[in-house]
């Protein structure tokens, strides 16, 4: 696998980095976190659409740039460095990928055009209270009714669900899962705002006999493979963003060691603290390397069994490294900042919370350790 960036990828990463540094600082995230509203700025979301970032992983015939998850990972890494709050992962990677992989031409034209332009927010409603990290739905059901379907059930932790105009919803239809597009204003659909530990927002979605037309069902089959693939993309994306978050924590910690004085000397001159900083750097490089392999394999089609297996192995390994090495970097960053590191006023705490939220998305350490081990036995 070639880890060198192409000229286009270098330009993409540079453009996102310059935007984040100039127009979306951590202070902006803090302000939006503390304010009422959606927790992000619709005008910034539209600007991302104008810059083409929302179109990166979509084929040219869908209005996209024909990029890969490697390109998406570069965007997320730079967004993570400044905690940019716009819902790139929920909309582009999750809901957008579900429509890209499973939607009909008419569904893609209707929903993706506005998403790619930054005019619409879409969410992926899949998690359920008793399903843990299982990709298939267990408590949300769909039944055929006349010329359409009726959906009933509850989805939890719907990322960006509080602001979405439509949802890609997984439900059991008979003995197999199916995917549907449900508009936010559908009768019988209610949503409750949820505030997450990292300052982001989402929703709990309750479907009480929500009726949708026949053309709301995404036709690609089997839907189970699509669900596995979308959650794999989400896990890889979480690691990619985690790389950016950890890079920022390492950088601000090194800067603090160079400037903070204790006992008449810069604390960075103390050998014990230098060793801890080196350990942080080592874990950072391990995370960066495994994240590159994870996003590089994330696009593997389910039809290729060997490639799909390699995708699962790489993504599980990356999630484990995020949960161990990423957690190590986060803890060291807090400790090396001393007392100020545990206050909400210091930015390092915001990064600490975000990386822990990313650790849990689409499988925590225990889940991926079990899956990785099981893959080695088969």
Whether the pLDDT of residue 73 is over 90: the answer is yes
In a domain, 346, yes or no: yes
In a domain, 47, yes or no: yes
**Do residues 352 and 255 both lie within one domain?**
yes
**Do residues 236 and 203 both lie within one domain?**
no
343 compared with 217, residue with greater pLDDT: 217
**Do residues 331 and 369 both lie within one domain?**
yes
In a domain, 228, yes or no: yes
**Do residues 102 and 147 both lie within one domain?**
no
Measured CA to CA, the distance from residue 332 to residue 339 in angstroms comes to 13
**Do residues 259 and 289 both lie within one domain?**
yes
Identify the domain boundary among 166, 198, 216: 216
Measured CA to CA, the distance from residue 122 to residue 230 in angstroms comes to 14
% of residues, the chain, pLDDT over 90: 88
In a domain, 12, yes or no: yes
In a domain, 141, yes or no: yes
**Do residues 354 and 227 both lie within one domain?**
yes
With tokens 């602001």, the residue in question is 163
Length of the chain: 378
Report the 10 Å Cβ neighbour count for 159.
Answer: 27
CA dihedral 156, 56, 182, 300 (to 10 degrees): -70
**Do residues 262 and 370 both lie within one domain?**
yes
Measured CA to CA, the distance from residue 189 to residue 162 in angstroms comes to 12
In a domain, 130, yes or no: yes
Measured CA to CA, the distance from residue 222 to residue 33 in angstroms comes to 39
**Do residues 173 and 253 both lie within one domain?**
no
Residue range 48-68, pLDDT digits in tens: 999 999 999 999 999 999 999
Name the burial class of residue 229, with classes exposed (0-12), middle (13-18) and buried (19+) by CB atoms within 10 angstroms of its CB.
Answer: buried
Find out whether 335 and 293 touch, Cβ atoms under 8 Å: no
- Using CA atoms, how far residue 281 sits from 253, 254, 285, in Å, is 11, 10, 6
296 compared with 262, residue with greater pLDDT: 296
Identify the domain boundary among 63, 94, 120: 120
Please, which pLDDT band fits residue 217 given cuts at 50, 70 and 90? Answer: very high
**Do residues 257 and 367 both lie within one domain?**
yes
**Do residues 365 and 286 both lie within one domain?**
yes
**Do residues 288 and 321 both lie within one domain?**
yes
132 compared with 249, residue with greater pLDDT: 249
CATH number at residue 313: 1.20.140.10
- pLDDT at residue 362, as a whole number: 95
In a domain, 2, yes or no: no
Report the 10 Å Cβ neighbour count for 176.
Answer: 11
How would you write the chain as a 3-class SS string?
CCCCCCHHHHHHHHHHHHHHHHHCCHHHHHHHHHCCCCCCCHHHHHHHHHHCHHHCCCCHHHCCCCCCHHHHHHHHHHHHHCCCCCCHHHHHHHHHHHHHHHCCHHHHHHHHHHHHCCCCCEEEECCCCCCCCCCCCCCCEEEEECCEEEEEEEEEEEECCCCCCEEEEEEEECCEEEEEEEECCCCCEEEEEEECCCCCEEEEEEEEEEEEEHHHECCCCCHHHHHHHHHHHHHHHHHHHHHHHHHHHHHHHHHHHHHCEECCEEHHHCHHHHHHHHHHHHHHHHHHHHHHHHHHHCCCCCCCHHHHHHHHHHHHHHHHHHHHHHHHHHHHHHHHCHHHHHCCCCHHHHHHHHHHHHHHCCCCHHHHHHHHHHHHHC
- pLDDT at residue 1, as a whole number: 58
Residue range 230-284, pLDDT digits in tens: 999 999 999 999 999 999 999 999 999 999 888 888 887 889 999 999 999 999 9
Paired tokens of 101: 């992989």
Range of the domain at 361: 223-377
CATH number at residue 95: 1.10.540.10
**Do residues 212 and 270 both lie within one domain?**
no
Task: Give Rg (Cα) of the chain.
Answer: 21
CATH number at residue 132: 2.40.110.10
In a domain, 23, yes or no: yes
Quote the pTM value.
Answer: 0.95
Whether the pLDDT of residue 2 is over 70: the answer is no
Total domains in the fold of the chain:
3
Identify the domain boundary among 166, 193, 216: 216
């Amino acid at each position: 696998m070639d880890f060198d960036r192409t000229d286009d990828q270098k330009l993409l990463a540079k453009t996102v980095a310059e935007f984040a540094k100039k127009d979306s600082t951590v202070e902006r995230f803090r302000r939006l976190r503390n304010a009422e509203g959606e927790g992000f700025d619709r005008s910034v979301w539209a600007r991302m659409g104008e810059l083409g970032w929302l179109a990166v992983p979509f084929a040219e015939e869908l209005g996209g740039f024909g990029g890969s998850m490697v390109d998406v990972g570069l965007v997320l890494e730079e967004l993570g460095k400044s905690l940019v709050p716009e819902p790139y992962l929920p909309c582009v990677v999750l809901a957008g990928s579900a429509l890209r992989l499973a939607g009909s031409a008419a569904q893609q034209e209707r929903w993706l055009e506005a998403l790619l332009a930054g005019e619409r927010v879409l969410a992926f409603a899949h998690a359920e209270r008793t399903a843990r990290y299982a990709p298939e739905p267990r408590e949300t059901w769909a039944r055929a009714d006349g010329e359409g379907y009726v959906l009933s059930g509850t989805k939890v932790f719907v990322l960006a669900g509080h602001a979405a105009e439509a949802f890609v919803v997984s439900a059991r239809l008979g003995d197999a899962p199916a995917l549907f597009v449900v508009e936010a204003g559908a009768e019988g659909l209610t949503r409750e705002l949820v505030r997450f530990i990292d300052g982001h927002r989402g929703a709990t979605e309750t479907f009480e006999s929500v009726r949708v037309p026949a053309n709301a069902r995404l036709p690609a089959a089997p839907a189970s493979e699509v669900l596995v693939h979308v959650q794999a993309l989400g896990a890889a994306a979480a690691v990619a963003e985690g790389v950016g978050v950890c890079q920022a924590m390492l950088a601000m910690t090194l800067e603090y060691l160079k400037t903070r004085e204790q006992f008449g000397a810069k604390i960075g001159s103390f050998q014990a603290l230098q060793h801890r900083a080196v350990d942080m750097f080592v874990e950072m490089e391990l995370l960066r390397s495994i994240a590159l392999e994870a996003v590089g394999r994330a696009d593997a089609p389910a039809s290729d069994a060997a490639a799909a297996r390699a995708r699962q192995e790489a993504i599980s390994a990356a999630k484990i490294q995020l949960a161990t090495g990423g957690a190590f970097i986060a803890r060291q960053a807090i400790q090396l900042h001393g007392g100020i590191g545990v206050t909400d006023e210091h930015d390092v705490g915001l990064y600490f919370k975000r990386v822990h939220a990313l650790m849990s998305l689409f499988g925590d350490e225990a889940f991926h350790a079990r899956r990785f081990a099981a893959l080695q036995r088969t």
